[in-house]
């Protein structure tokens, strides 16, 4: 049995020693603070991500509490919370719209956004998170969906409120804020989807409306759930990945590694991923790491710990942007492999080299601080200076 508060300041700033101790004692443990078992080694996490005896859909899910009705209405149609056959149908339709061609077509937009933001960055010490790391992905998501970029502050506010539901220690105030954000975003999307039906554009919402496979189309609720998921999962993870990447690159003097951005980005995602825990529900009796789990149980897959497993990675605590063997699980795996992974990778492969090309002497001006926001591992502040 493990006891480790996710709010402990030392854990918040550096959870990796805890992961190492847990992994050394065995692959799976009961984590008392969470009231569930957790898998810490790469092999078990990798296997469970693909095991169809587990899933994201809550068994016997009933009606939500009245104060969470709007949030629940969005979550019920999210790819992240569904299993086959509903998940299979919805993901197939979404991928008819969210194609590799559409993602690749955003490259010019991403470069324009990054160039504009970099040109506006101050020379003196400033916080890179709100001035660059947040704004790149939220503006990209706005262009992808086809919504006005001036809505960026609303998108950020809605996303932050809804994502807080997945963090440790949520309370009624967090739930109320998340429900209000879900209601506001859903109301906006309902109106915007109807506008696009009568006035098609070259954007993802128009493509989602037109998506069709074997006579099947997306319902309005499914389109809303997909758009919200792209904002919350795609935007939030990319924000944290960019911040964690800048910190790692500067601290290790590895900026020159961005000459080969693909391999460098994969190492950042392994070394300090944005999401450290991904939970799954057990549907059938299963033995995992010497523990017997059954229907109704939940298990945490420790993505952050899996990326530092010495059984899977040579010198895992070393940041090595030239690493070749890198089977990290930062984007999950199996049916729920992140649908936005190609876009997140593209954004990072553009945003990071452009930042360091413009600011080759970028340095960290104050000790970076991670936020108390587990299961996410994100920087609350990253004060940097270009000189």
DSSP string, 356-384: HHH-TT-EE-S--EE-S-TTB--EEE-EE
Query: Which residues, in sequence order, are CB contacts of 369 under 8 Å at separation 6+?
Result: 13, 379, 380, 381
Question: Can you give the pLDDT at residue 55?
Answer: 96
Q: How many CA atoms lie within 13 A of 226 on its CB side?
A: 29
Yes or no: say if 36 and 299 are a contact pair by the CB < 8 Å rule.
yes
**Which residue bears the tokens 């970076």?**
368
**pLDDT for 223:** 92
What is the 3-class SS of 7-33, one letter each residue?
Answer: CCHHHHHCCHHHHHHHHHHCCEEEECC
Alpha-carbon separation of residue 168 from 74, 115, 130, 276 (angstroms)? 21, 36, 23, 12
Burial of 148 (0-12, 13-18, 19+ CB in 10 A): exposed
For residue 235, the model assigns a pLDDT of 80
142, containing H or E segment: helix 135-145
Nearest to 28 by CA among 323, 287, 384, 328: 287
Which H or E run contains 94? helix 86-97
Distances (CA, A) of 22 to 19, 41, 168: 5, 9, 19
pLDDT for res 52 = 94
Phi then psi for residue 306, to 5 deg, are: -60, -35
Tokens for 23?
A: 């992994």
Confidence (pLDDT) at 84: 95
E-strand stretches of the chain: 28-31, 36-39, 54-55, 126-127, 212-213, 216-217, 277-282, 286-288, 291-293, 298-302, 363-364, 369-370, 379-381, 383-385
Both tokens assigned to 253: 């003097």
Tokens representing 95 are 């991928």
Low pLDDT (below 70) residues in the chain: none
User: What is the domain partition of the chain in residue ranges?
Assistant: 9-385
For residue 123, what pLDDT is reported? Answer: 82
Contacts 24+ apart (CB under 8 A), 220-225: 220/190, 220/193, 221/73, 221/76, 221/77, 222/77, 222/90, 222/93, 223/189, 223/193, 224/74, 224/77, 224/185, 224/186, 224/189, 224/190, 224/193, 225/74, 225/75, 225/76, 225/77, 225/78, 225/79
What per-residue confidence (pLDDT) applies to 335?
Answer: 92
Instruction: Report the CATH superfamily, name and number, of domain 9-385.
Output: Cytochrome P450 (1.10.630.10)
> Which residue(s) pair with 281 in the sheet?
55, 298
Gap between the Cα atoms of 190 and 221, Å rounded: 9
Look at the alpha carbons of 270, 128, 339, 275 in this order and tell me if their dihedral is positive or negative: positive
Model's pTM, two decimal places? 0.94
CA distances 31 to 4, 288, 380, Å, are 8, 14, 26
């Amino acid at each position: 049995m493990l006891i480790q508060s996710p709010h402990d300041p030392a854990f918040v700033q550096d959870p990796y020693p805890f992961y190492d101790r847990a992994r050394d004692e065995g692959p799976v443990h009961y984590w008392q603070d969470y009231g569930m078992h957790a898998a810490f080694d790469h092999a078990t996490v990798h296997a469970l991500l693909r095991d169809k005896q587990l899933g994201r859909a809550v068994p016997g899910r009933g009606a939500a509490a009245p104060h969470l009705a709007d949030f629940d209405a969005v979550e019920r149609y999210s790819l992240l919370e569904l299993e086959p056959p509903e998940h299979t149908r919805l993901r197939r339709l979404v991928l008819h719209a969210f194609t590799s061609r559409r993602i690749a077509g955003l490259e010019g937009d991403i470069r324009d956004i990054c160039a504009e933001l970099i040109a506006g960055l101050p020379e003196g010490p400033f916080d890179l998170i709100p001035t660059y790391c947040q704004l790149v992905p939220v503006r990209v998501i706005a262009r992808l969906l086809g919504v006005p970029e001036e809505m960026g502050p609303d998108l950020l506010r809605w996303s932050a409120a809804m994502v807080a539901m997945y963090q440790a220690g949520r309370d009624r105030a967090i739930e109320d804020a998340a429900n209000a954000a879900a209601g506001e975003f859903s109301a906006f999307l309902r109106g915007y989807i109807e506008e696009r039906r009568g006035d098609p554009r070259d954007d993802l919402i128009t493509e989602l409306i037109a998506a069709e496979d074997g006579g099947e189309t997306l319902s309005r609720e499914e389109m809303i759930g997909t758009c919200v998921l792209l904002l919350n999962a795609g935007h939030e993870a990319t924000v944290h990945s960019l911040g964690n990447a800048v910190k790692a690159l500067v601290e290790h003097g590895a900026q020159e590694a961005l000459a080969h951005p693909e391999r460098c980005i994969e190492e950042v995602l392994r070394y300090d991923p944005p999401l450290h825990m991904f939970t799954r529900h057990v549907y059938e009796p299963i033995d995992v790491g010497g523990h017997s789990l059954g229907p109704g149980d939940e298990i945490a897959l420790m993505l952050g710990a899996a990326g530092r497993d010495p059984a899977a990675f040579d010198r895992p605590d070393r940041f090595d942007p030239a690493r070749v063997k890198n089977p990290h699980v930062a984007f999950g795996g199996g049916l729920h492999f992140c649908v936005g992974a190609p876009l997140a990778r593209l954004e990072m492969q553009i945003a990071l080299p452009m930042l360091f090309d413009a600011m080759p002497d970028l340095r960290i001006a104050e000790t970076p601080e991670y936020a108390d926001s587990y299961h996410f591992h994100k920087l609350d502040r990253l004060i940097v200076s270009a000189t």
